[in-house]
Amino acid sequence: MTQTVGHFIGGETVLTQGRTQPIYNPSTGAVSGEVELASAATVEQAIANAAAAYPAWRETPPAKRAQVMFRFKMLLEQHADEICELISREHGKVLHDAKGELQRGIENVEFACGIPQMLKGEHSKNVGPNIDSWSEFQALGVVAGITPFNFPAMVPLWMWPAAVMCGNTFVLKPSERDPSSVLRIAELAIEAGLPKGVLNVVNGDKEAVDTLLQSEVVQAVSFVGSTPIAHYISSEAAANGKRCQALGGAKNHSVLMPDTDLDNAVNAMMGAAYGSCGERCMALSVAVTVGDEIADRLVAALKEKIAGLKVGSGLDNSNDMGPLITAQSRDRVKGYIDAGVEQGAELVVDGRDISVPGHEDGYFVGATLFDRVTEEMSIYTDEIFGPVLVVVRVDSLQDAIDLINRHEYGNGTCIFTRDGEAARYFCDQIQVGMVGVNVPLPVPVSYHSFGGWKRSLFGDLSAYGPDAIRFYTRRKTITQRWPSSGVREGVVYSFPS
């Protein structure tokens, strides 16, 4: 008897006996349960609950909302081990990595606790005789979030805590591939005192997403996932008159200058390329080497490190890297490795034939390294979303910058160097949203905002941080006069100045 994961609507777990799909344990390949895929009617029910909760929540003083967030943060910390185990069982990432994910999510809750400070408006006295003017930032109403499988706890926490702290109510559609941690987190939010209906979670696929996009009640949509779906969400949201931010995929380049501190850079790149089995939108999947000397040393050092990488079950904390999310992902990644060989890249380390004792049916692919990769190869152009690092050799920093700027994605990048002038020039010229200097995963902290350029983000505002306040509120500007008693005013037909 497998367990069925349902929805969380109006503060209650809801099972509808509708369509389902299996949930797998990627470390073993076994089916661990099934998840319901919401029908349009179930999504409408969630939207109706969010709409019903909105008027009272909108009127709740921000400081009272913040008290809920403070309690919620404590509960997340108290239940961290339980949540990380749920993540690891369904996603496959190693427990220590799940812990890092949850901690970055908690940072977003901490930021949300301080949102009353950021909801303060702008005020001008005497914009005219006895006239004052101010702008305030009002909630939108019901807003929706649609999230990917690779950070099942963190990415939802980028969205709904900030949205509800701004006075909105929320319908979340997480990834159907690893749905359990987010449902447990929603229960903890209710335990913290979030009124029922303020946060609703529906599991599902395209039917659920399209219902959210077409709803006249939903005012705004935050999306994180792959670029083709981000583009679809952004177009549909615009066609339906909704505000939208849609974060997409990535191909993140690192640049290694000839003066790089190679030991540190190699350690940084191992974690950034192979951590979470490469299933991170900020994973460093391309190393651009400036000059052959650093390229030869880098490839030799990576090859040696990869030999010591420990691959296995996500639940064994001594492992460095777990499996991919599904059998399809594993086969897709292996297909890219095949293509790289066919297209003439030099395969330095081949992860295709890995076998993990005791976990022979898990979705494992070993760390893979290609050298002498060129710009037209699919292992360079496409987001592989697996443990595959490709080395592209160039002759100058300018060549490296031009290469990166020609790529369709612009999420993250990093330069490794000891040369401040080179680093400064790189930061200025590179067309990428998040840039590291000797920092391999420059994921902004919660009080900055997260967003790429080019086809890595559709929309004007990034996720979390200050941009979230602008995204989840609407500006209203009020101009007010209280005429002094006895003052009579004539008719004015010219434009007020």
3-state SS assignment for residue 457 = strand
Q: What is the total count of residues that contact ligand NAD (CB under 6 A)?
A: 27
Identified catalytic residue from 166, 277, 281, 414: 281
- Tell me, residue by residue from 177 to 216, as one string, x for binding to ligand NAD by CB under 6 A and - for no binding: ----------------------------xx--x-------
59 Cβ contact partners less than 8 Å away, ≥ 6 residues apart: none
Scan residues 364-383 and list those touching ligand NAD (CB under 6 A).
383
Give dist(CA 198, CA 111) in Å, integer: 19
CB neighbourhood size of 320 (10 A): 18
Which of the stretches 21-29, 136-144, 193-201, 246-254 binds ligand NAD when contact is defined by CB under 6 A? 246-254
Nearest to residue 161, comparing CAs of 106, 202, 201, 104? 106
- In the complex, the smallest distance separating the C-beta of residue 146 from ligand NAD, rounded to whole angstroms, is 5
Minimum gap (Å) between residue 225 Cβ and ligand NAD: 3
CB atoms within 10 A of CB 241: 8
Q: How far is the CB of 209 from ligand NAD (least distance, A)?
A: 4
- Find tokens 């609703």 and name the residue: 200
Query: Amino acid identity, residue 320?
Result: D
411 binds ligand NAD (CB under 6 A): yes
Q: Which of 72, 111, 137, 149 binds ligand NAD (CB under 6 A)?
A: 149
The token pair that represents 340 in the structure block: 């790289």
Residue 434 makes contact with ligand NAD by CB under 6 A: no
Is residue 84 annotated as part of the catalytic site, yes or no?
A: no
Asked whether position 175 contacts ligand NAD by CB under 6 A, the answer is: yes
Query: Which residue among 102, 143, 250, 269 contacts ligand NAD (CB under 6 A)?
Result: 250
Q: How far is Cα 436 from Cα 352, in angstroms, rounded to an integer?
A: 31
- Per DSSP, the chain holds a count of helices (H) and strands (E) of 16, 23
Site string for ligand NAD, 263-282 (x = CB under 6 A): ------------------x-
CA distance linking residue 24 with residue 40, whole number of Å: 25
Residue placing its CB nearer to ligand NAD in the complex, 42 or 150: 150
Tokens found for residue 10: 């109006």
Residue 125: which residues within 8 A CB-CB, separation 6 or more? 132
C-beta of residue 443 within 8 angstroms of C-beta of residue 272: no
Query: What is the Cα–Cα distance from 257 to 107, expressed in whole angstroms?
Result: 33
Residue 458: CB minimum distance to ligand NAD, A: 10
Residue 199 backbone dihedrals phi, psi, to 5 degrees: -125, 125
Instruction: Give the Cα separation of 92 and 4 in Å (integer).
Output: 19
Nearer to ligand NAD, 14 or 208 (CB): 208
Q: At 363, phi and psi to the nearest 5?
A: -95, 60
Minimum CB distance to ligand NAD, residue 80 (Å): 21
Q: Name which of 205 and 316 has its Cβ closer to ligand NAD.
A: 205
Binders of ligand NAD in range 441-470 (CB under 6 A): 452, 456
Listed ranges 242-250, 296-304, 332-340, 475-483: which one lies at the site for ligand NAD (CB under 6 A): 242-250
| CA–CA gap between residue 454 and residue 213 (Å, rounded) | 23
Q: Minimal distance in Å, beta carbon 179 to ligand NAD?
A: 10
Q: Residues 139, 146, 255, 468: which binds ligand NAD (CB under 6 A)?
A: 146
Near ligand NAD by CB under 6 A: residue from 145, 225, 340, 465: 225
Task: Kindly write down the DSSP assignment for every residue of 104-168, as one continuous string.
Answer: HHHHHHHHHHTHHHHT--EEEEEEETTEEEEEEEEE-SEEEEE--SSSTTHHHHHHHHHHHHTT-
Q: Of 146 and 268, which has the nearer Cβ to ligand NAD?
A: 146
By the rule CB under 6 A, 226 interacts with ligand NAD: yes
42 binds ligand NAD (CB under 6 A): no
Told to check if 173 binds ligand NAD by CB under 6 A, we report yes
- Asked if 105 and 124 count as a contact pair (C-beta separation under 8 A), the reply is no
Q: Across the beta sheet with 131-139, what order do the strands follow?
A: 122-128, 131-139, 473-481
Among 148, 275, 314, 340, binds ligand NAD (CB under 6 A): 148
State the catalytic residues.
Answer: 281
**Can you give the binding site for ligand NAD, defined by CB under 6 A?**
146-151, 155, 173, 175-176, 205-206, 209, 224-226, 229, 247-250, 281, 383, 385, 411, 452, 456
